[in-house]
Structure 1
Amino acid sequence: MLTELTPAHMDRYCARIGVPRAGAPDLDRLAAFQRGHVRAFTWEVLDAFMGWPNAIDPAAAFDKMIGGARGGWCYEMNGLLGAALSAAGFQVTRLCGGVRRADLGDGVVGNHLTLRVDLEQPWLVDGGLGDAPARPIPLAVGDHRHEFHDFGIEAADADWLRFRNHRFGAAPNFDFKADYTDEPRLAAQQAWLMADDGSPFRNNLVVMRHFDGRIESIVNRTRRTVTADGMTTEAMKNADDLAAALGGVFGLEIPDVAAVWAKVETLPKGEFE
């Protein structure tokens, strides 16, 4: 597995996220990498939703997200970010986490890849939850606020920690341990999420991206915009609406939007529809 990007890869990656290629591996630069990453790339699960091929290796994420006009989910978003941070001189650890372990139990552990970056203290860096705050967080129990987000890290059971997302977050929380790395479990969960009929991403179209002062998302038929004033929603009515959103707001080139919309139309209507 690719653990850091080559110099040629880094040139293209840094140009894409708008961060200078050279610089000291300090907190300001770490924050710039994370902020640039989540604003340059869209979080999306189209591969799982449509049954298209997907790989967990950051090298594949680079080809898909920089070589092509696509985004990715946690394995790709945090995988690529972690590989870039390693190449930039940061000490990065890939942590095995579990979204909604609080209510679903240990069986979900591995359904989320997150990152620990060690500077003068350890930091939680997550560009792969989709709508989580786009800044490094001290890896310790505490409450935080960033822009219009209230979030934090709290103690869970045993030696687990729990990241608590802001109130409009699509995923309310994920559990992790500061030193728990398990690549086989991450790979197994990625394969399950891609293929099993019980996978939430096989049964929901979810697309999210950070912008200055707002987070835009799609959940099935619904467009959502979160700002300091709250959340607004707008229903998409047809494949043209979906194509306009994916290609415009989210900057994605999807080969067959009509097929995506046809699957969306088979889904039961949700809370905002």
Structure 2
Amino acid sequence: MYAENFQLESYLKRIGYTGPLELSADTLTKLMRAQLFSVAFENLDVQAGKIVSLVPEQIVDKIIGQGRGGYCYEVNGLFAMALQALGFHYKFIACRPMFYPVRRPKTHMIVLVEADGEQWICDLGFGSYGIRAPIALSSLEQIQQQDFDQFRLTTEQSGAYVVQALVDGHWLSQFGFEPYESEWVDFMPANYLNSTHPDTIFVQKLLVIKHHEQGRDILLGDQLKQIRADGTEVQQLSPQQREDILKQLLS
């Protein structure tokens, strides 16, 4: 993933990262978490009636230049630019969201990265139950404790991998995939659907999610949900409160 205006130094400054840069799983984990905790998942462009741009240079300008966030193609695309600049080998993978009541097309995207002789699932743009650190493709059925969340990787009868999250004591499937590479251009139809189709959450409501080490804050419409290890608080917001919270989450 290449953009003419991408500069590794500016990216590292944007995510506040000053750690190691060697090609290791440890670096991969620290980079992913630094970006996840610095760059919000957000759909402001869709709410403004725009089709999200997949032009790499515009992604860089939006997230690094303007200090904005983005949804999966944008935040994972930016992460891939950093991986390429550092020399990691990776591929884009099309994924099927599985938390809907009906079967959906493959409208999500992750990055599968090679490090320390393993392939690692990296994802910075899934939303509320998104993973918080890379998961090794070899770690089938092993519980992944990530901060106060738990995830696991399992498989379907078809052989497809499925990432699940432990939610209220139950393992719920989040997305599934086969580990076959997709080109960047392959995501354009799915991006158009996510930007325009009335059934998508991105079109229906404002959605901003900011992860941090203590939990995550989710702004959905005029409702703020603050999720922590010891519980969840939900607050209905006035228009002014929503604007104030939006600024905080994007800062």
User: What is the TM-score when the length of structure 2 is the normalising length?
Assistant: 0.89
How many angstroms does 1:180 deviate by?
Answer: 4.2
C-alpha distance 166-244 of structure 1, shift in aligned 2 (>3 A): farther
Q: Which structure features the higher share of strand residues?
A: 2
**1:149 and 2:149 correspond:** yes
Provide the C-alpha distance between the structure 1 equivalents of 2:4 and 2:78, rounded to a whole number of angstroms. Answer: 12
Fraction of identical pairs, as percent:
21
Count of matched residue pairs: 244
Amino acid at match of 1:167: V
SS in 1 for 2:2: coil
2:160/2:176 contact within 8 Å kept: yes
SS in 2 for 1:152: strand
SS at match of 1:66: helix
User: Contact 2:6–2:60 at 8 Å: present in 1 too?
Assistant: no
Structure 2 equivalent of residue 158 of structure 1: 158
Partners of 2:197 and 2:133 in 1: how far apart?
Answer: 33
Structure-1 separation of matches of 2:101 and 2:118: 30
| Alpha carbons of structure 1 residues 30 and 6: separation in structure 2 relative to 1, 3 Å | farther
Decide which of 107, 112, 125 is 2:122's aligned counterpart: 125
Q: 1:50, 1:202 within 8 Å by CA — same for their partners in 2?
A: no
**1:6/1:87 contact within 8 Å kept:** no
- Counterpart of 1:100 in structure 2 is 98
Alignment gaps of 5+ in structure 2: none
SS in 2 for 1:83: helix
Q: Does the residue aligned with 1:241 lie in a helix, a strand or coil? A: helix
Q: Distance in 2 between matches of 1:102 and 1:45?
A: 19
Classify 1:59/1:21 alpha carbon distance in 2 versus 1 (closer, same or farther; 3 Å): farther
Whole-angstrom distance in 1 between the partners of 2:135 and 2:3? 24
Write the distance in 2 (CA, Å) between the matches of 1:247 and 1:101.
29
2:114 is the alignment partner of 1:113: no
Query: How many Å apart are 1:49 and its aligned residue?
Result: 2.3
Q: In the aligned structure 2, how far is the partner of 1:98 from the partner of 1:6? A: 31
What stretches of structure 1 of length at least 5 have no aligned partner? 252-273
Cα distance in 2 for partners of 1:206, 1:102 equals: 17
1:85 alignment counterpart: 83
Which residue does the alignment assign to 2:40? 42
What's 1:192 paired with? Answer: 193
Alpha-carbon displacement from aligned partner over 1:204-258 (angstroms, at most 9, x marks no partner):
2211011231211111121011111122111112x2111100112332xxxxxxx
Report 1:11-90 matches (<5 A): 11-20=9-18, 23-90=21-88
> What's the CA shift for 1:199?
2.5
Tell me the residue number matched to 2:220. 219
Q: Which amino acid aligns with 1:33?
A: L
Distance 1:74 1:166, change over 3 A: farther
Give the drift of 1:18: 2.1
Equivalent position amino acid for 2:111 in 1 = L
Which amino acid is 1:200 matched to? I
| Offset, 1:172 | 5.4
**SS state of the match for residue 208, structure 2?**
strand
RMSD: 2.2
Q: What displacement does 1:164 show?
A: 1.1
How far the C-alpha of 1:60 sits from its partner, in A, is 1.8
Deviation, 1:52, is 2.4
Range with greater deviation from structure 2 (196-205 or 143-152)? 196-205
Quick one: distance in 2 between partners of 1:148 and 1:5? 35
The residue number in structure 1 matching 2:242 is: 242
1:180 & 1:158 partners in 2: Cα distance?
Answer: 18
